[in-house]
Chains A and B, each alone.
Chain A
Amino acid sequence: DAKTTQPPSMDCAEGRAANLPCNHSTISGNEYVYWYRQIHSQGPQYIIHGLKNNETNEMASLIITEDRKSSTLILPHATLRDTAVYYCIAEGHGQNFVFGPGTRLSVLP
């Protein structure tokens, strides 16, 4: 079973920030939080990952709570092309990824 829980769906207006939450209350100390997204009929695309500190790259920001029991993926200016299923995964390096159902994000014009 997946170690994370996410809302099944979210809407976001184009140009606004999309904040996708993820709960991982049983995460262990050596497990990272990974975010991937899957656009219809394509393979998952890596977005970002982190351990304890907040992370930012050209795609998104990852905010991890101090107790590491939850995190938020932030897409700062969502576009229509960001419509996808977003997966939050908590796993140690070298371990298999277990995908939950993810959050279906719809960016609306």
Chain B
Amino acid sequence: GAVVSQHPSRVICKSGTSVKIECRSLDFQATTMFWYRQFPKQSLMLMATSNEGSKATYEQGVEKDKFLINHASLTLSTLTVTSAHPEDSSFYICSASYNKGTAQLIYGYTFGSGTRLTVV
């Protein structure tokens, strides 16, 4: 259980275009989803936290107008990289927190398989 599907796994786009990445929770409702970015040989860096039905919270230094996050349902969050540039090339990963049981105990976080974005 608690599977997150991320799509696409790889995308190449031209500089100046926009790219949308989807993150779906397949067998649970994800009230909170997180978006990370990972550059080569570096660790994951949190970009933003999205809660269903409300605006995302962005980490310091992450441009909210460039990285648009939509979490319109309990099973889908999208990240749109607008006007992409080569420096936006990175590995983008989403994750979702999930609850189990009536005690609302969060069991942890499950991650998508990641999206390799290359901007040329």
Q: Which residue numbers of A lie inside 8 Å of B, CB to CB?
A: 34, 36, 38, 41-46, 49, 87, 93-94, 96-102
Interface of A is mostly: loop
Tell me whether A96 and B43 are in contact (CB under 8 A).
Answer: no
List CB contacts (< 8 Å) of B76-94 with chain A: 91, 93
Do residues B93 and A97 form an inter-chain contact, with CB atoms below 8 A?
no
| 19 more A-B residue pairs beyond the given contacts A44-B111, A87-B43, with a C-beta to C-beta distance below 8 A | A34-B109, A38-B44, A41-B91, A41-B114, A42-B113, A42-B114, A43-B4, A43-B6, A43-B112, A44-B95, A46-B111, A49-B108, A94-B97, A96-B46, A96-B49, A97-B34, A97-B95, A97-B109, A99-B44
How many chain B residues have a CB neighbour from A under 8 Å? 25
Give chain A residues whose Cβ lies under 8 Å from the Cβ of B112. 43
Closest to A102 in B: B43
A15 → B minimal CB distance (Å) = 28
Q: Does B15 contact A (CB under 8 A)?
A: no
Give B residues with C-beta under 8 Å from A. Answer: 4, 6, 32, 34, 36, 42-46, 49, 91, 93, 95, 97, 105-106, 108-114, 116
**Among all A-B residue pairs, the 8 with the closest Cβ atoms:** A43-B111, A93-B106, A99-B44, A99-B43, A44-B111, A43-B114, A43-B113, A43-B93
CA–CA, A101 to B39, complex, Å? 12
Alpha-carbon distance A34/B110, docked complex (angstroms): 12
Q: Are B114 and A97 in contact (CB under 8 A)?
A: no
**Across-interface contacts of A100 in B (CB, < 8 A):** 43
Give Cα A45 to B49, complex, Å.
Answer: 19
B45 to chain A, nearest CB (A): 8
**Residue of A at shortest CB range from B2?**
A46
Contacting residues, chain A, for B49 (C-beta < 8 A) = 96
Measured in the bound complex, the distance between the Cα atoms of B114 and A41 in whole Å is: 8
A46 touches B106 (CB 8 A): no
- Please name 24 pairs of A and B residues whose Cβ atoms are closer than 8 Å in the assembled complex, sorted by A: A34-B108, A36-B111, A41-B114, A43-B93, A43-B114, A44-B44, A44-B95, A44-B111, A45-B111, A46-B108, A46-B109, A49-B108, A87-B43, A93-B105, A94-B32, A94-B106, A96-B34, A96-B46, A97-B44, A97-B46, A97-B95, A97-B109, A99-B36, A99-B43
